[in-house]
């Protein structure tokens, strides 16, 4: 698909996936991009390698995987920050990464000094339910 036809969110998702592949050699299974005000959250689903998943089965290994990804992100996120700035036309002021080793999910948060809390649900929620259009269904 022509990059000009992609939404801004799709372009950021593609950039994040490419960034992850370039720095780790592993392509995430899926990428979710959410923008709320001045906070952009990118969630890379299935971003850990099989070796990292195996290591993360112990508490000590999970801590090693988390610290490795935090450091890797801190040392190499400049390229992704610049790409997000190019796509959105807005400078990225700060960025952080967190790894959920149980699910293999990596979260990149780009904020303006705000606290970001990210919760990954066990399953998706239908848009009509989320938007209140399906209030009667449970």
pLDDT attached to residue 94: 86
Question: DSSP string covering 46-97, please?
Answer: T-S-HHHHHHTTSHHHHHHHHHHHHHHHHHHTHHHHHHHHHHHSS---EEEE
Tens of pLDDT, residue by residue over 35-46, are 887 889 898 988
Residue 126 has pLDDT above 80, yes or no: no
Which structural domains are found in the chain, ordered by start? Answer: 3-113 (3.30.980)
């Amino acid at each position: 698909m022509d990059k000009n036809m992609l939404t801004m969110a799709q372009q950021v998702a593609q950039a994040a996936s490419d960034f992850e592949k370039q720095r780790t050699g592993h392509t995430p299974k899926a990428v979710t991009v959410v923008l709320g005000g001045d906070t952009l959250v990118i969630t890379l689903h299935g971003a850990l390698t099989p070796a990292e998943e195996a290591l993360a089965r112990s508490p000590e290994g999970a801590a090693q995987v988390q610290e490795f990804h935090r450091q890797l992100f801190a040392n190499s996120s400049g390229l992704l920050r610049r790409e997000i700035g190019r796509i959105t036309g807005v400078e990225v002021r700060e960025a952080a990464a967190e790894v959920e080793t149980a699910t293999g999910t990596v979260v990149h948060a780009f904020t303006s000094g705000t606290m970001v809390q990210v919760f990954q649900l066990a399953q998706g929620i239908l848009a009509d339910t989320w938007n209140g259009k399906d209030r009667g269904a449970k």
